Amino acid sequence: MQEINVLPELTSWYGPWQGVPAVVTGLGVSGFSAADTLIELGAKVVVVDGADHQENQAKAETLRIVGAHEVLLGEEHLDAIPSVDGESPQLIVTSPGWRPDQPLLAAATAAGIPVFSDVELAWRVQDKWANSQDPAERAPLPQWIGLTGTNGKTSTVGLAESMLLAAGKRAIACGNVGVPVLDAIRDPAKFEVLALELSSFQLHWSDSLSFHAAAVLNLAEDHVDWHGSYDAYVAAKAKIYHQAQLACVYNADQPATTTLVEEADVVEGARAIGFTTNTPALSMLGLVDDILVDRAYLVERKTQALELARFEDFTTPPAQHMVANALAAAALVRALDVPPEAIRAGIQNYEPGAHRMQLVAKAEDVLWVNDSKATNPHATDASLRGFKNIIWIAGGLSKGVDYQQLIKANAERLQSVILIGTDIAGLQDALAKHAANVPVTLIEQNPEAFMDKNAYGRAVMAAAVAQADQNATADSTVLLAPAAASMDQFTSYETRGQAFIDAVADLMEAKGFPRA
């Protein structure tokens, strides 16, 4: 049977999806959502995941029940493109963690088989409600705002969602945070605005996106192992500006993001809008004393600035990076005509997520702070700069980044360092060069002695917390800000942060303090 490439027509929920052979790689949150969506569209779906554990087996059974053609679990399925009922797939939708050089994906690229992110698929089928044949179901297409960056993405998209909700919009934060975007576009709530946090991985596999407003918050070395080079990582981030319709939001305090906007191919009329934690120039949002102001979205911007919020509107005294995040969020939503009073209310209503500069305990004049979300040097630098006399718990999977500047800039703040993780040579080298007088302790555990990764990780963290307690003196801050990914010893940065929280709680209880 001759195969017909129908992909150019697959730009609508109501396109010719029926019977299209498709492969989904990865059975995590986004992968499950992609498979479920393709099945609902009528595609013939095969799902592949290297992990054959109980959780994936349960997900696989669910997908088989709803109509998946086949679910293949186990590493033996990762090296070649699977057939779909005897046919070659016409489409692969991949999960963010799968690298381009992974054998199955590399083979697909070589064979000319399109590879999509879940976000690319969502952009193509976002018209489920807009073009419904049932008039009672119809709703306008959602507006899309998107943001990416090395750090601050989750806080910024949360602030944007809060501002949109305060403006009375049916809005949801989705993508790389919260619900998968494919679930959002299928939700009966029929959201008016989708606020997407996007990783460089998702952008790498996305080519059709055309955001109403898009932002790159910042750029620093990260995920070099996945992309192959820093330039490739930046190029993936830059794709968020492609065909931006209303606004390209950039960080005026970081020239690299300005360059991305200058080089972007946008829809005619789209504006470049900067944000800065200094006094804003024209077409920027920024600060005047402790007031967040807008000199972009008002007619009189040459002579006036519009007050959006004040420092007192934040639920906790804001660090510089949180002010920057709020300004970036405001710049995005102001492109959709969100009024100033909703910006202020959104900031007032926003509650920061767990594992981001989270105060865990204060006892015996020692602060215990969880910033497990600090998975790279750029994020960790922001954490370290907020404290002194730091007992720093760090380490994990380095992702190929360099730690020299991080240690050089913060050596004087370090009281001692406790290293966890299996990929810490770069940290050890930087500490030896730039903080040679700072005591360093390496936490070692035998993973073979534990039943699973979570038990192993909890043991590692308990030992690190115990060592931190021994090192602590009055006015110390014990800071978990690993500057590395977590997957060597934990299932996620959340489980790493929770292990720290639990270990500190156990320590406090053993010392006679009430358990929170």
- Binding-site residue numbers for ATP are 149-155
More confident residue, 476 or 447: 476
Distance CA 102, CA 201 (A): 13
Of 116, 140, 119, 120, residue with least CA distance to 128:
140
Tell me the per-residue pLDDT of 53-74, one tens digit each, with 9 for 90 and over.
Answer: 898 999 999 999 999 999 999 9
pLDDT over 90 percentage in the chain: 75
Q: What confidence score (pLDDT) does residue 325 get?
A: 94
Tell me the per-residue pLDDT of 487-513, one tens digit each, with 9 for 90 and over.
Answer: 888 888 889 999 999 999 999 999 888
Q: What confidence score (pLDDT) does residue 151 get?
A: 80
Q: What confidence score (pLDDT) does residue 135 get?
A: 93
Which residue type is seen at 503? A
- Binding-site residue numbers are 149-155
Tell me the per-residue pLDDT of 143-178, one tens digit each, with 9 for 90 and over.
Answer: 999 999 988 888 899 999 999 999 999 999 999 888
Report the alpha-carbon angle 396-398-403, nearest 5. Answer: 110
Q: How far is CA 34 from CA 39, 66, 146, in A?
A: 9, 13, 19
Q: What confidence score (pLDDT) does residue 251 get?
A: 97
Give me 334's structure tokens.
Answer: 């102001």
pLDDT at 515 over 90: no
Distance CA 357, CA 479 (A): 9
Lowest-confidence range among 79-88, 127-136, 145-154, 377-386?
377-386
What average pLDDT does range 94-110 have in this prediction? 92
pLDDT over 70 percentage in the chain: 96
Give me 387's structure tokens.
Answer: 């404290």
Of 377, 423, 425, 417, residue with least CA distance to 401:
377
Q: How far is CA 236 from CA 30, 124, 230, 241, 277, in A?
A: 19, 19, 10, 10, 26
Lowest-confidence range among 87-91, 217-221, 327-331, 465-469?
217-221
Which range has highest mean pLDDT (216-230, 325-339, 473-487)?
325-339
pLDDT at 125 over 80: yes
Tell me the per-residue pLDDT of 259-317, one tens digit each, with 9 for 90 and over.
Answer: 999 999 999 999 999 999 999 999 999 999 999 999 999 999 988 999 999 999 997 76
Domains annotated for the chain, with CATH where assigned, are 19-116 (3.40.50.720), 123-349 (3.40.1190.10), 358-510 (3.90.190.20)
Q: What confidence score (pLDDT) does residue 376 get?
A: 87
First to last CA, the chain: 65
Of 209, 65, 218, residue with least CA distance to 152:
218
Q: Indicate the SS3 state at residue 97.
A: coil
Which residue type is seen at 307? E
More confident residue, 166 or 222: 166
199: DSSP letter: -
Q: What confidence score (pLDDT) does residue 283 get?
A: 97
- 78: buried, middle or exposed (CB in 10 Å: 19+, 13-18, 0-12)? middle
1 pLDDT tier (thresholds 50, 70, 90): very low
Classify strands 284-288 and 291-294 as parallel, antiparallel or unpaired: antiparallel
Report the 10 Å Cβ neighbour count for 425.
10
Q: What confidence score (pLDDT) does residue 2 get?
A: 34
Tell me the per-residue pLDDT of 417-450, one tens digit each, with 9 for 90 and over.
Answer: 999 988 999 999 999 999 999 999 999 877 777 7
Tell me the per-residue pLDDT of 384-402, one tens digit each, with 9 for 90 and over.
Answer: 987 889 999 999 998 778 9
Q: What confidence score (pLDDT) does residue 507 get?
A: 94
